[in-house]
Structures are given as C-alpha cells and as structure tokens.
Amino acid sequence: MNRAVALRLAACGIMGLGAALLIAALLLSTYTKGKIAKIPLNLDATLVANGTGTAFDPESLNTERFVINRNVPVALQEQISVESPSNADVVTLQVGSSLRRTDKQRDSGLLLALVDTVTVNRWVTGKQCPTAFYVRLLLALLPATATLIGVMVLAQIPSGQDMIGVLLVMSGVAIHKPTAPEAPIQEVASTAP
C-alpha cells in the first residue's frame, strides 16, 4: 500500500469519526433532556465567598457615633435546599444567605442574614405555580428591601437616581409575566422521584 492510499484511508476514518461524534452529541442531548429538565428533589448546595469590604460596626450602636470599618474580612454564605412541600410536580426551595465579618466572633460579626422560601413547578416549562403572584410580589419588593438594608446597615444613602432606578426595577418585576413555551417538555425516562 502506498502513502497516498494510506492518507486517503486515514482521512476517511477521521471524517467518519467526526460524523459519528456529531451524531452521538445530537442523540445525547435528546436522551438527557428528560433527565435534566426537572429540578431534583435532593438539591442541597452551599456557596461560600471570602473577601474584604467596608462594613458597619454593630457594636457602635450603643455609642454616640456610628463606626464604619474599611477593609474588614467578610464572608458571604449562600445555601439552597429542598423543603416540604415537594413532590413530583412542585418543589419548595429555601435559600439562606448570610454576610458576616470574619474578624468578629458569633453574632457580633453578623451583618446580614436572609431566608427566602419559594414553591415552583419542577418542570422547566415556564408554567407558573399558584403562588406565582406572591413570588412576583416578593421579587418586586426585593430592591426596596436591599436599599433599606443598605441605609440601615451600611449607611449608604441612595441618590434620587438610585431611587428612580429602584422604582423602575420594582415596577418592571411587578408587571412582568413570563411566557409559556410552545410545547411542554415531556419526561422520556427518568429515575428521579
């Protein structure tokens, strides 16, 4: 066999392998779509981020003058888990978020702690749950709550432009209604509960 024939065979083999990999990729997305289109009931994740920032000293509340410390070590921890009621159709997610100073011990270092619970449809279809109105209401109030916490905890006074932005975001979230997809996702073969 001469070199030209060997190169042609190698080129055909590489093209065949490429075509087989493309077909496998298409089939893999079809096979896994039903498995990843549902929010799992065993979801439990924690995210921790460390850094430095400017923070209000809570111990200064008892003094005549508030103290703002700069370049203090802070840690942000966010945790998401599945709570009751959760079943084959809906899942209740609870998200906890805390921001604390790592140079202070226990409660004296806690700057912010939030817990939010929401029940959503397990299928990733865009359909709203019966509680969707309340979820939208809470999401619309979130910018105002964040602004209020910024004023109280971090002594950040918003400007007029900031307040207009908060009102625009709140109204946009309040009036937004997600569109449903054209066809709901069908479960192919799932081993998830």
Give CA–CA dist 163/144, Å, rounded: 9
Q: Rounded to whole angstroms, how far apart are CA atoms 102 and 75?
A: 6
Residues 88 and 121: their CA atoms lie apart, in Å, by 9
pTM exceeds 0.85, yes or no:
no
pLDDT of res. 190: 39
Burial class (CB within 10 angstroms; exposed 0-12, middle 13-18, buried 19+) of 186:
exposed
pLDDT of 66 over the 50 cut: yes
Distance separating alpha carbons of residues 188 and 184, to the nearest angstrom: 12
Confidence of residue 108 (pLDDT cuts 50, 70, 90): confident
Residue 185 has pLDDT above 50, yes or no: no
Instruction: Please count the CA atoms within 13 angstroms of the CA of 167 that sit on its side-chain side.
Output: 7
Residue ranges of the alpha helices (H) in the chain?
3-36, 132-154, 160-175
Q: Is it the case that residue 127 has pLDDT exceeding 70?
A: no
* Cα distances (angstroms) measured from residue 171 to each of 119, 126, 165: 22, 21, 10
User: What confidence score (pLDDT) does residue 181 get?
Assistant: 45
